[in-house]
Chains A and B, each alone.
Chain A
Amino acid sequence: MDAIETAAVLARARQGDSDAFRALVEQHSRSVFRLAFRMTGNEQDAEDVVQDSLLRAYRRLGTFESRANFGTWLYRIVANCSVDLMRSKAARHDRSRKDTLDEAVELPAVNAPGPERMAQSAEIEARVQDALRELSPLERAAFTLRHYEGRTIDEISATLGLGTSAAKHSVFRAVKKLRIALAPLRSQES
């Protein structure tokens, strides 16, 4: 879809044309899912975020400024839907963390499908996921945007609707927590 066509589709969607919105959904769903998965770390949660984000986008289309970039606007909605979902799941966090820890502890190198290195890498992966789950929703979101999405602090600030300082400190806190959580693995490596 070129820029002119996109603008026309957006204009129609803003007027309530559901076929036009359908075209936007079909165009953006994969990138929405990718971000949602990185933000939540869970396939089912990512699917929920995809749906919630697109419905939220539809509701708010009237507030979208036609000169803005729809992809960027939608990106913000997805990031914030992800934070909302992670917050709503906070009560279940402890239980899922325990399950993951148990699984991580039970990872015996002898049962690994490949060489020792594979077992190590699986353990690292499990510990990393566990460490990410330790972060608050906002810390995780800010860290994901900085580390996996390559967004600058200013962009994170705009995406999550935070002040620059708050965005920066969310990243800092996340990195501190990750360092502490992964320190045992780093000492094993060294």
Chain B
Amino acid sequence: MHRIVTQHSTEDDLTLYYYGEGRQRADIERHLESCAGCAAAYAEIAGTLAMMAAPEVPERGDQYGREVWQRIRHTLPERESSAWAALASVFRPERLAFAAAAATLVLGAFVAGGVWTRQRADAPATSAPQSAGTSAGTTGGSTAASGDSRQRILLTSVADHLDRSERVLTDIMNAPRGDISAEQRWADDLLDASRLYRQDASDAGEQSVAVVLDDLERSLLEIVNSPSTISAVDLEQIRRRIDAASLLFKVRVMSHEIRQREQAPTTLPRTSTRTTT
């Protein structure tokens, strides 16, 4: 014969009981048979939870995994398994602030390097290297090697930036209408760096680079400021403007040109440290 359970169940006990959890389940079960109050409370809980039918999940087809991959593949964060990858990771959203600071340092080096290139015949060869952030007016402490190295770092960074930009532009040119949020995030990542590169390229007298970066900045801005779910008409307008400016072509040519300058032995020693992806 079962003992009579006189202790009333709390609402929380009954909730756990409904879900098949909690201790003393057998006691609760027996109590519900003999206590009208607890049985009513349980009926109310069970009735409410029975209303909570699982929402119908929208169907995703067999190709869904591939579609997801296409959406995320360009935004994959760099793995931090090497110094190379670590440097590349500064361009990722979570490190945007660091990216901006790093870009400033590198661009400072660009200016310093440009000035250094013009001044290095007269510069003292025995001075200690300056930091990358040294202004153009304080290059007296730099060595010729460090100046060239900085310039090479900058050129490599700009070339890499152009390559990344080319990829996002290519994606936009080929994207179906609809969700372009992945491309927008990517463009947003590139935008700040692009602005800094343009300003410093301009300061360094690299006008052709600055002009291409200026065109690029406008297109990136337009992509970032478009609705994430874009209509076919709006997408077509962005593409037309990219086409009209021959932007993809300019970006490719400029990247190629910079890579060639980067490899030129007279100005860019092969012993420099390569820093980007």
A residues bordering B, Cβ < 8 Å?
A: 15-16, 18, 21-22, 25-30, 33-34, 37-38, 41, 43, 47-48, 50-51, 54-55, 58-59, 61-62, 124-125, 128-129, 146-148, 152-153, 168, 171-172, 175-176, 178-179, 182-183, 185-186, 189
Looking at B44-52, B192-200, B245-253, the stretch in contact with chain A turns out to be B44-52
Is the pair B54, A186 in contact by a Cβ cutoff of 8 Å? no
Q: Does B12 contact A (CB under 8 A)?
A: yes
Is the pair B65, A30 in contact by a Cβ cutoff of 8 Å? yes
| Cβ contacts under 8 Å, B85 to chain A | 16
Is the pair A175, B48 in contact by a Cβ cutoff of 8 Å? yes
Is the pair B182, A51 in contact by a Cβ cutoff of 8 Å? yes
| Cβ contacts under 8 Å, A61 to chain B | 79
13 CB < 8 A contacts A-B: A26-B69, A28-B65, A29-B64, A29-B67, A37-B55, A54-B72, A55-B75, A55-B77, A125-B53, A172-B11, A175-B48, A179-B44, A189-B47
Is the pair A147, B60 in contact by a Cβ cutoff of 8 Å? no
Q: What is the CA–CA distance of A67 and B12 in the complex, to the nearest angstrom?
A: 36
Is the pair A172, B12 in contact by a Cβ cutoff of 8 Å? yes
B interface, how many residues as a size bin? 35 or more
Number of A-B contacts defined by CB within 8 Å: 105
B residues bordering A, Cβ < 8 Å?
A: 11-12, 15-16, 19, 21, 44-45, 47-49, 51-55, 57-58, 60, 64-69, 71-73, 75-77, 79-81, 85, 179, 181-182
Give the shortest distance, in Å, between A141 (CB) and chain B (any CB): 15
User: Which of A37, A51, A175: most chain B CB closer than 10 A?
Assistant: A175
Is the pair B64, A30 in contact by a Cβ cutoff of 8 Å? yes
